[in-house]
Structure 1
Amino acid sequence: MSELEQYYRILELEPGATLEEVNQAYKDLVFVWHPDRIPRENTRLHKKAQEKLKAINEARDQLRSLSVKHQTFYNSPSPQPKKSSSYQPRRSSSPQPKTSSANNNQPPKQNPDLSGKDFSQANLSNKDLSGRNLSYANLSGADLSDTFMHKVNLRGANLSEANLFRANLLLADMREVNLRSANLIGADLSGADLRGADLTGARIRSGERLLVKMIGTNLAGAIMPDGAIHT
């Protein structure tokens, strides 16, 4: 098996998968294998997760680099035949701006500061918002299902009635966040800071079964779905 095929196999993809498929596979596998999802006292599994994450990161980086080089090659101009050595009159031409085909194929860099922005009712499902600053943003009624928000800053944000089904909120800053009537079924809030958050009416259970992961979550002073204040 070639090294390239090995990278595809690590991401559980067939050789020749698109860049979009590579990025999606990367997010799915990080969601499963991120060490922060595993209790540190389980040292064996924690070490395995760290090794898995390292391999996943390397495979994604190598395949993304290959994709950029591939696009640059096919978008670059074809070589021109050499001109005859006989005298030709010089033609005036206006200078053309130089462009990089590699850069043209790259998506524009996204601004990580989205604080105070209005995303009410927006469809943000499956997006990667990890590390973004969304403090005090309006996300009421937004679809954030399966969204990757590792270490996102949501302090003071309005997430009332938002759909956070299976959202990854590992180590998120969610102090004083408004989660009234939000759907949190399947969400991972491990290590998140929810001090002072309002979860009144939020969906976190099916019957008596808790369906939200909250390992190491800080809920001091938070208003729980039943209206009780967590102490």
Structure 2
Amino acid sequence: MSELERYYRVLELEPGATLEEVNQAYKDLVFVWHPDRIPNDNPRLQKKALEKLKAINEAREKLRSFNGKRQTIYHSPPTPHKKPSANTSTPPKQNTDLSGKDFSRANLSNKDLSGRNMSYANLSGADLSDTFMHKVNLRGANLSEANLFRANLLLADMREANLRSANLIGADLSGADLRGADLTGARIRSGDRLLVKLIGANLAGAIMPDGVIHS
């Protein structure tokens, strides 16, 4: 079985499934395997659910990339052959290094920023609701007052990130590295109910919403 076939199998799809089918299968499996659906007193199943989520996220990410390339190959209109000239330039590749960039107040809702390097970027007040940020590097980033409602931050690097007064309701930070992050005043609860997924997250030294430093 090829690596590509394995990713389809992870999402319980037949090889060659469409991007729409990939996205739907991803949503269905995340719903089934989300740690919130597993009893808290069953650490074995909690660990298994987290491993499943990692595999599901990786499969979706790889198949989205593959489907995007396939559509470019098969659906791009033919272009007339031109003799190369000195002025011909290669289109820039998708920029994965966004470190230090200014995205303050930007609308990044529903974007796929997985795997990007956004360390020390300014995302203060940005709308990141429903944004896919699997394995994103947000080390030292300014996310103060950002809207991270239902954002997928699985395995994100958020060390020393500024999350003061950020909206984290519904966000998934499973396996994220939050060491030294500042969450003062961040929204993570509704009443006494915690509404942020923090399964396996590293919170050592993080300043929690109530100002207490997590040990």
Q: Which residue of 1 aligns with 2:72?
A: 68
Equivalent of residue 109 in structure 1, options 86, 90, 93:
93
Q: Alpha-carbon deviation of 1:10?
A: 4.8
Q: Which residue of 2 aligns with 1:87?
A: none
Change beyond 3 A, Cα 1:46–1:221:
closer
Q: Alpha-carbon deviation of 1:98?
A: 5.3
Establish whether residue 212 from structure 1 lines up as the match of residue 189 from structure 2: no
Conserved? CA contact 1:151–1:169, under 8 Å: yes
SS in 1 for 2:44: coil
TM-score where L is the length of structure 1: 0.67
Q: Which residue of 2 aligns with 1:120?
A: 104
CA deviation profile, 1:27-51 (whole Å, cap 9, x unmatched):
5654664699558833876787688
> After the TM superposition, which parts of structure 1 deviate over 6 Å for at least 4 consecutive aligned residues?
43-55
In structure 1, how many angstroms separate the alpha carbons of the residues matched to 2:117 and 2:60?
A: 25
Structure 1: which 5+ residue stretches go unaligned? Answer: 1-5, 78-94
Establish whether residue 141 from structure 1 lines up as the match of residue 125 from structure 2: yes
Structure 2: which 5+ residue stretches go unaligned? Answer: 1-7
SS in 2 for 1:70: helix
- Residue 72 of structure 2 aligns to which amino acid in structure 1? V
- Residue 213 of structure 2 aligns to which amino acid in structure 1? I
Establish whether residue 226 from structure 1 lines up as the match of residue 206 from structure 2: no
Is the deviation greater in 206-215 or in 52-61?
52-61
Alignment map for 1:1-231 (pairs within 5 Å): 10=13, 22=19, 26=22, 29-30=25-26, 33=29, 41-42=44-45, 60=64, 63-64=67-68, 66-72=70-76, 74-76=77-79, 96-97=82-83, 108-231=92-215
Aligned-residue Cα RMSD (Å) equals 3.8
In structure 2, how many angstroms separate the alpha carbons of the residues matched to 1:135 and 1:47?
A: 26
Change beyond 3 A, Cα 1:189–1:58:
closer
Conserved? CA contact 2:34–2:49, under 8 Å: no
In structure 1, how many angstroms separate the alpha carbons of the residues matched to 2:181 and 2:115?
A: 20
